[in-house]
Structure 1
Amino acid sequence: MPSIQTQIRIWGRVNSVNVQKVLWCAEELDLAYERVDAGLQFGVNTGADYLAMNPNGKIPLLADGDYVLWESNAIIRYLALQYGAGSTLYPADPRTRGGVERWLDWTLSTLQPAERPVFWGLVRTPPAERDMAAIRKAADEVAGLWRIVDAHLAGRRFLEGEAFTLADIVLGAYARRWYGVEGVAKPELPQLARWHAGLAERRGFQRFVAPALT
């Protein structure tokens, strides 16, 4: 059972990669929280009360007492700063933290836009409606991005050295999607595979990221 009692509430459905990031981070920090299903079939995020907290109408959303925050990467930064004393998640060293920040930004600016057509095309689009030519083209682009990560991981246990950080949570959630989709060619990336296998042993990954893609 989580050992730290908080007033944390998290809105979002568990099959959202952005929600998975937040839940995995909370697990690493051993935080207690209440989760509220929201988004897609659950609705909630289009209601007036929700929009008053997050006018974007997206998930996840965090409330910690009377403090409200949206944007998944901002949320995990906050949780690590607020509750992560002694944790390696968000390093204090400016250069190490700069490396972590680089991957958090790169995921949003570069990886997520490229990955989305592949995931939605193969997981959330019925087979008869899939544009496989477009999906394969997008998958080739994503493979090129994972080659960058694979090269960076050479000689490193985690993305920023020997310590597990927020960067591993964020990219790890997307790597699980990459390895989980079927129907497209994927290059052999030994460093990426080794790193991903190590993440798969962590409790937060197993609880929130490993379940079947939907």
Structure 2
Amino acid sequence: MLKILGRSSSINVRKVLWACAELGIEYQREDWGNGFKSTHSPEFLALNPNAMVPVIQDEDFVLWESNTIIRYLARAYRGESLYPAAPKIRAGIDRWIDWQAADLNPAWSYVFSALVRHNPEHPDPERIKAAAASWADKMSILEGQLKATGAFVAGPAFTLADIPIGLSVNRWFSTPLQRPDLPAVSAYYERLSLRPAFIAHGRNGQP
């Protein structure tokens, strides 16, 4: 059985849990990370030298990096409906998965850490203001894409790209800051909320 190493409150672990729920994959999960078993232990570092969750073990195969994991799961567990093999369709999905990691995540990192995690290392109000503006700029890009598709981030159907993007949208609405009116993003959030897997692993009270 697939084994997932990582605490369920981690946004990156939740990507994997949500993907498993969508794909009907049975798994066992072990708590690792903040407040649980240390990811800096030799046992964990042998699996992931970055000391970060999630890690999966699929029989004798070990994999880390959450977006890589969900792509692997879709390919290994008959997830063609979420991650079609057609090169142009798959590229469109990959584009938004990579955008979430490379552009959207860095935009919210400082402000989320300051306003939700109350990290004492992120006290600068000017940086919080600048980060909030940067985050809003990136969300306006998502707004434009969702207006164009009228449904999900990569097109009319739910795909693998909606998992990392959906979790970031949940974080957007969970952070106490002034947000611009983005009606397509709001409608998308409600559309995702019709999916039981998103309620379980996304819109579940955890930012």
1:177 matched to 2:180: no
The answer to whether 1:202 aligns with 2:191 is: no
Identity across the alignment (%): 40
Measure, in 2, the Cα distance between the counterparts of 1:186 and 1:150: 13
Matched, 1:44 2:38: yes
1:58-82 Cα deviation digits (max 9, x unpaired): 1100001111000000100000001
| Residues 1:34 and 2:28 aligned together | yes
Structure 1 residue 31 displacement after superposition: 1.0
Q: RMSD of the alignment, in Å?
A: 1.6
- 2:130 aligned residue: 137
Q: Secondary structure at the match of 2:4?
A: strand
Q: Which residue of 2 aligns with 1:59?
A: 53
Pairs aligned (count): 205
Paired residues of 2:113 and 2:119 also in contact (CA < 8 A): no
Q: Give the CA deviation at 1:110.
A: 0.9
Residue matched to 1:114 = 107
Q: How does 1:57-206 map to 2 (within 5 A)?
A: 57-85=51-79, 87-125=80-118, 130-156=123-149, 157-182=151-176, 184-206=177-199
Which runs of structure 1 show a deviation greater than 6 angstroms over 4 or more consecutive aligned residues? none
- C-alpha distance in 2, partners of 1:101/1:203? 24
Deviation at 1:136, TM superposition (A): 2.1
Q: Which residue of 1 aligns with 2:5?
A: 11
Q: Is the 1:8–1:63 contact (alpha carbons within 8 Å) kept by the matching residues of 2? A: yes
Does the 8 A contact of 1:122 with 1:130 survive in 2?
Answer: no
What TM-score, normalized by structure 1, do the two folds share? 0.91
TM-score using structure 2 length = 0.93
Q: Could you tell me which runs of 5 or more consecutive residues in structure 2 were left unpaired when the two chains were aligned.
A: none
Q: What do residues 152-196 of structure 1 show as CA deviations (whole Å, max 9, x unaligned)?
A: 1114211121211111111000000001111x2111111111111
> Which blocks of at least 5 consecutive residues in structure 1 are unaligned?
1-6
Aligned counterpart, 1:3:
none
Are the equivalent residues in 1 in contact too, given 2:2–2:57 (CA < 8 A)? Answer: yes
1:20-40: per-residue Cα shift (whole Å, max 9, x none)?
111100000111101111111
In structure 2, distance between residues paired with 1:150 and 1:84: 30
